[in-house]
Amino acid sequence: MKRIVVIGDGMVGRHFTTTLREREPGWSVTVLAEENRPAYDRVRLSAYFDGATAADLSLGELDDGVDLRLGEAAVRVDRERHVVHSALSEYPYDALVIATGSYPFVPPIPGTDSPGCFVYRTLDDLEAIRDHAAGVDRGVVVGGGLLGLEAANALRLLGLDTTVVEFAPHLMPAQLDEAGGAVLRGHLEQLGIRIACGTAVAAVTTDAAERQSATPGGGNTEPPRAASGGLRLTTSDGTHLDTGLVVFAAGVRPRDAIGRDSGLAMAERGGITVDDTCLTSDPDVYAIGECAAVDGRCFGLVAPGYAMAEVVVDRLCGGDARFAGADTSTKLKLLGVDVASFGAPDGPLSTNYLDPTEGVYAKLALSDDARTLLGGILVGDTEPYGLLRASVGGPVPARLADLLARAVPDAELPDSAQICSCHAVTKSAITSAIAEGACDVASLGACTKAGSGCGSCVPLLKQLLADSGVSQNKAVCEHFAYSRAELFDIVRCAGITTFSDLIAQHGTGRGCEVCKPVVASILASLDNGHILDGEQAALQDTNDHFLANLQRNGTYSVVPRVPAGEITPEKLITIGAIARDYGLYTKITGAQRIDMFGARVEQLPAIWRRLVDAGFESGHAYGKALRTVKSCVGTTWCRYGVQDSVTLAIDLELRYRGLRSPHKLKSAVSGCARECAEARGKDFGIIATEAGWNLYVGGNGGFTPRHAQLLLSDLDTESLVRYIDRFLMFYVRTADRLQRTAAWLENLDGGLDYLREVIVDDRLGICAELDAAMDRHVASYRDEWSAVLEDPDKLSRFVSFVNAPETPDPSIRFDTSRGQPLPVMLERPRVRAS
Amino acid sequence: MSWEPICALEQLTPERGRAALLPDGTQVALFRTRDDDLFAVENLDPFSNAYVMSRGILGDRAGTPTVASPMYKQVFDLATGECKDAERVRLRTFEVSCRDGVVAVRVPEAVPV
């Protein structure tokens, strides 16, 4: 049995310990940790300010076989006696692994130890920053690299007016070039972060210190800086920055003192010298992670540290692993901006792509014959990263512009990529099904189950079919040889108002669960009365049929409309009273509304009655229709708002409520560039500018998140509404079944430019008709719940049993948990869906 | 076996289903197609274990009348109960008739306990 002592329980130390335990569970392992908490994910540190708790960041428990000494730093290594000393005890070792990581670099200037100055390294640092931030309104981050921008995000999440000071001429100098840094800067400035590049900090002073030096001479007549919080940063060119808090995040230095003190060989620029087996100058001492220098170089990333940890485990177990150097390629999201760099981003030749409107920059570094890809930089759009990184050392896989325009379809999806997450179907399973003869989405579903769950992967399945050279059958199903858009035109032009007429004249058979809801949606989009009128009732999916959302135990959930999320106390009380009286589980939805769960079909009308009486109406949470227009509080309350986002959001929600579409539609309005309403994650999003409104289209969350793209800028409200009218109507008429706006835009020949030509320049001459169609929709809107309440025939369907209308479904039962009812499932399903 | 009267034919919407409760507590999903054919299968969806089959959409696969589960959309043959999307999964079926405008389901005699 060997005795192993590990100094450090950071990410790399922990990776070493757990890997070793798996490989050699019999050895004795002692870990000396300086911090009082066990290892946590330092890479995601700033998530702590975004709602993550210390427990969320934890890297888990070590098994009982490891002696983890929290809060007990190693202070000295006696290499001769093979013993590590802490302040409390001593620990003999056969092999010692040093994983002390690094410490934050603080520039050697006066005043950095003033109250309000922090570093950004540990959870304790973050707690201290959070506590101090509560009392100030401005913060400065010194350092515009990876860590600095993480820190800036943290300050922003804490609500501070944030400035980043960077010594280099542009942001992220280690990863980006000047143009990439400038694009990143643009994104960050949009978020309201101030950036000062090419600026060195010369001193930090406090109010108290300044007063002391100012008073004797009496010459300082500046007013006191009460609001700022009492710190002043002086830059090397003599300008001042007043702030309440300073975070130094200007890089890290290897934490190598214990190696130096015990006489190990050190690298010239810091770090404990190790060879490619991570062995130090002592044959029983290893160093891994940021404290170790391989060929004189330290790696400030976690992946090389993990690789080193694995090498040492292998060596201790008698293997011959070597550290092969590290790929320092990185791809990350900084403050919501995608940034990546890979390979060696500098080379004899380069090809660049810059789109200032979209904030996208890309650069590829090439060999002098332009045949070999050496590396590159991506800012604002890192979609091609996987493909490009894999191509380093070989030919460039495609034109840069094509890669960014996604004109190289699906090239970067590996075979193992999960296409259908409902049934866990990988791309390779789908491509082999296609090779075996599956020729449409339905047959793919029959042999792989892909696409038969929520249906959100159907566009990807079509893409894979197209990529495999299968000619696209646009038919919605076996009953109609037409696409949804074609059916829409047939219904509209032929003036068809019923499914039976449509299938008799243009289809075959009786229809099915695919084409019936499609036609129901088309008929509804063309204003053919209530969706449960006459024959239309039989076409609706269960959600639309009961005007509520089916839940897993057969009950429904009810979501009243709360336009823009604005709700009176009286209405809140009404919702609470109804939920209490009917024993409903309540939850705030992601769209600023309140969902009430667990209603049986026979309870729905009574619940609606009370909601309608209190002034509510259906929120269409059940429909492929407009859901909500989310909003921030805008100028009504917010100190930063530049437009009245709430009023616009309410107006838009009321205008488009009830509009049936190929998929659900979501929208949001943000009152300033801080974008609190997350409008760029919506099908159509509006962000206020000083001059008016910017309109973004084609965003969504869900299965494949997309950022909406800027369609038009600085619109007045009237033009904004007109362009949204046309955008929506054009989409409703021409999109495929279950195709969201993002996929629709991607498949639209000519994309965003073409969309602009159609709805702004009226290239197709259809704008008047689109406007008229929307006017008809707005004029004919009626609340769907009220219409049912007024119609005894429709009401009669709302019973659990046709032969026992008074009997509730006995299979539905509830338990109570956290003070609310939760469904009791009777037993496990007899068959698995996958 | 006996016939249990359930409801009047006009209580069933063409191309739609209704759930009914049999005396022994079994839940049945009754369907009326647009040609006035009647079908009855058990109301329990074997894929979700919820009693929801009566709320599915009717249709046909190559001419065979079907219902799709409203939960995860598996399609079943209305006449045989067989699942078209999964082998060896089958809904129990019931005989159903309509006499003098009254729809009835044939149920097993209650077994004396």
Give the tens place of pLDDT for each residue, A414-447: 676 667 655 667 788 888 888 887 877 878 887 8
How many Å apart are CA A523 and CA A660, to the nearest integer? Answer: 9
Asked if residue A672 belongs to a known ligand binding site, the reply is yes
For residue A101, pLDDT over 70 is answered with yes
Are A557 and A548 in contact by the 8 Å Cβ rule? The answer is yes
C-alpha to C-alpha distances, A740 to A593, A722, A723, A745, nearest whole angstrom: 22, 21, 18, 9
Mean pLDDT, range A156-170, rounded to an integer: 91
| CB-CB under 8 Å, B15 with A538 | yes
Q: Which of A805, A830, A271, A633 is nearest to B88 (CA)?
A: A830
Positive/negative CA dihedral, A216, A217, A219, A220? negative
Mean pLDDT of chain A: 88
Residue B79 and residue B14: Cα distance in Å, rounded?
17
Is B59 in Cβ contact with A512 (below 8 Å)? yes
The DSSP secondary structure of A275-307, one letter per residue, reads: -TT-B-SSTTEEE-GGGEEETTB---SHHHHHH
Inform me whether the C-beta atom of residue B11 falls under 8 Å from chain A C-beta atoms. Answer: yes
Across the interface, whether the CB atoms of A804 and B20 are under 8 A apart is answered: yes
C-alpha angle with apex A800: A795 to A802, nearest 5 degrees? 75
Q: Does A810 touch chain B (CB under 8 A)?
A: yes
Which residue in A516, A563, A571 sits closest to A544, CA to CA? A516
The full length of chain A comes to 834
To 10 degrees, the CA torsion angle through A432, A435, A439, A443?
A: -40
Whether B33 has its CB under 8 Å from any CB of chain A: the answer is: yes
A478 neighbourhood in chain B, CB within 8 Å: 61-62
Task: Give the closest of B50, B59, B63 to A553, CB-based.
Answer: B50
Residue A146 carries which DSSP code? H
Domain with CATH 3.90.480.10 in chain A: 547-623+804-833
Instruction: Tell me the torsion sign for CA atoms A492, A496, A500, A501.
Output: negative
Eight-state DSSP code of residue A34: S
- pLDDT for the residue A473: 66
How far apart CA A508 and CA A516 sit, in angstroms, is 13
Q: What average pLDDT score do residues A96-116 get?
A: 92
Bridge partners (DSSP) listed for residue A377: A341, A363
Nearest to A597 by CA among A611, A583, A609, A610: A583
CB-based burial of residue A414 (10 Å sphere; 0-12 exposed, 13-18 middle, 19+ buried)?
exposed
Contact B61 A512 (CB under 8 A): yes
For residues A834 and A161, give the distance between their C-alpha atoms in angstroms, rounded to a whole number: 50
Annotation-wise, does A439 bind a ligand?
no
- Determine, for residues A827 and B6 on separate chains, whether the beta-carbon distance falls below 8 Å: no
The pLDDT value given to residue A544 = 96
- The reported pLDDT for the residue numbered B30 is 97
Any A CB within 8 A of B15 CB: yes
CA B90 to chain A, closest CA, distance in angstroms equals 10
Pairwise CA distance, residues A782 & A823, whole Å: 33
Nearest-neighbour CA in chain A from B71: distance (Å): 7
Local structure of residue A812 (DSSP, 8 states): -
Our CA angle for B17, B20, B25, nearest 5°, is 145
Architecture of the domain spanning A625-779: 2-Layer Sandwich (3.30)
Which residues are CB-neighbours of A165 under 8 A, at least 6 positions away?
A140, A141, A142, A143, A144, A196, A199, A201, A233, A235, A241
Indicate the Cα dihedral angle B85, B87, B89, B90, nearest 10°: 80
For an interface test with A, the pick among B22, B28, B42, B48 (most A C-beta atoms closer than 10 Å) comes out as B48
Enclosing H/E stretch for A142: strand A138-142
Please, which residues bridge with residue A74 across strands? A86
| Contact call for B70 and A542, based on CB within 8 A | yes
pLDDT at A247: 95
Question: Best mutation site among A444, A452, A542 for testing chain B: the one with the most B CBs within 10 Å?
Answer: A542
So what's the pLDDT on residue A471? 64
Instruction: In whole angstroms, give the CA distance from residue A711 to residue A713.
Output: 7
User: Count of A–B CB contacts within 8 Å?
Assistant: 126
**Which whole number is the average pLDDT over A276-296?**
94
Dist CA A131 CA A133 (whole Å): 6
At residue A834, the pLDDT reads 44
| A3-101+255-317 maps to CATH 3.30.70.20 | no
- CATH top-level class for A327-410? alpha beta
Interface membership of B98 toward A (CB under 8 Å): no
B55·A545 Cβ contact <8 A:
yes
Is A223's pLDDT higher than 50?
no
**Bridge partner list, A339:** A332, A379
Closest-CA residue of chain A to B6: A803
- So what's the pLDDT on residue A281? 95
Radius of gyration of chain A (CA): 31
Over residues A129-155, mean pLDDT:
90
pLDDT of residue A416: 66
Mean pLDDT check: name the lowest of A275-279, A333-337, A716-720, A748-752. Answer: A333-337
Domain B2-107 has CATH 3.20.20.70: no
Interface with A, mutate which of B72, B82, B91 (most A CBs under 10 A): B72
A274 or A384, which is more confident: A274
B positions 34-73 inside 8 Å of A (CB) = 34, 46-52, 55-63, 65-66, 68, 70-73
B89 touches chain A (CB under 8 A): yes
Please give the pLDDT value at position A829.
64
In the predicted model, is pLDDT for residue A276 greater than 80?
yes
Reported confidence tier of residue A454, pLDDT bands at 50, 70, 90: low
* Residue A197 annotated as part of some ligand binding site: no
- What is the distance between the alpha carbons of residues B24 and A432, in angstroms, rounded to a whole number? 48
Q: CA dihedral defined by B66, B69, B70, B71, rounded to 10 degrees?
A: -160
What is the distance between the alpha carbons of residues A602 and A809, in angstroms, rounded to a whole number? Answer: 9
Residues counted in chain B? 113
Is B32 near chain A, with CB under 8 Å?
Answer: no
Q: How many CB atoms lie within 10 A of CB A424?
A: 13
Q: What is the pLDDT along chain B (113 residues), one digit of tens a residue?
A: 789 999 999 999 999 999 999 998 999 999 999 889 999 999 999 999 999 999 999 999 999 999 999 999 999 999 999 999 888 899 999 999 999 999 999 987 655 54
What mean pLDDT comes out for the span A380-408? 74
Q: CATH homologous superfamily of domain A547-623+804-833?
A: Sulfite Reductase Hemoprotein;Domain 2 (3.90.480.10)
- DSSP-assigned letter for residue A750: T
Fold of the domain spanning A412-468: Arc Repressor Mutant, subunit A (1.10.10)
CA–CA min distance B6, chain A (Å): 5
B96-109 per-position pLDDT tens digit: 999 999 999 998 76
State the residue for tokens 């670099």. Answer: A105
User: What secondary structure letter does DSSP report for A470?
Assistant: P
DSSP secondary structure letter of residue A651: H
Whether residue A632 is annotated as binding a ligand: the answer is: yes
Q: Which of B40, B14, B38, B12 is nearest to B28 (CA)?
A: B40
* Surface of A (275-314) touching B: CB under 8 A: none
The CATH code of the domain at A105-208+228-251 is 3.50.50.60
Q: Which residue of A has its CA nearest to B84?
A: A446
How many whole angstroms separate alpha carbon A171 and alpha carbon A150?
A: 12
* Chain A residues touching B47 at Cβ < 8 A: 829, 831-833
pLDDT digits (tens, 9 = 90+) for A227-252: 456 899 998 888 888 999 999 998 88
Residue listed under structure tokens 């399609």: B75
Query: From the CA of B112, how many Å to the nearest CA of chain A?
Result: 23
Render pLDDT for A340-376 as a digit per residue (tens, 0 to 9): 888 887 878 888 888 877 888 888 888 888 888 888 8
Alpha carbons A682 and A707: distance in angstroms, whole number: 8
Dist. CA A331–CA A302, nearest whole Å: 13
Residue A530 identity (one-letter amino acid): H
Position A222 confidence tier, pLDDT thresholds 50, 70, 90: very low
Nearest to A831 among B18, B56, B86 (CB): B86
ipTM for the whole complex = 0.95
Paired with A138 in beta bridges are A161
Q: What is the pLDDT of residue A452?
A: 64
CB A665 within 8 A of CB A626: yes
- How does pLDDT run across A5-20, given as a tens digit for each residue? 999 999 999 999 999 9
Contacts 24+ apart (CB under 8 A), A604-608: A604/A546, A604/A547, A604/A548, A604/A556, A604/A558, A604/A798, A605/A788, A605/A789, A605/A795, A605/A798, A606/A582, A607/A558, A607/A578, A607/A582, A608/A547, A608/A558, A608/A785, A608/A786, A608/A788, A608/A789
Residues paired with B61 in a beta bridge: B64
Coil, helix or strand at residue A25: coil
- Identify the closest residue of chain B to A811 by CA–CA distance: B51
Cα Rg of chain B, angstroms: 13
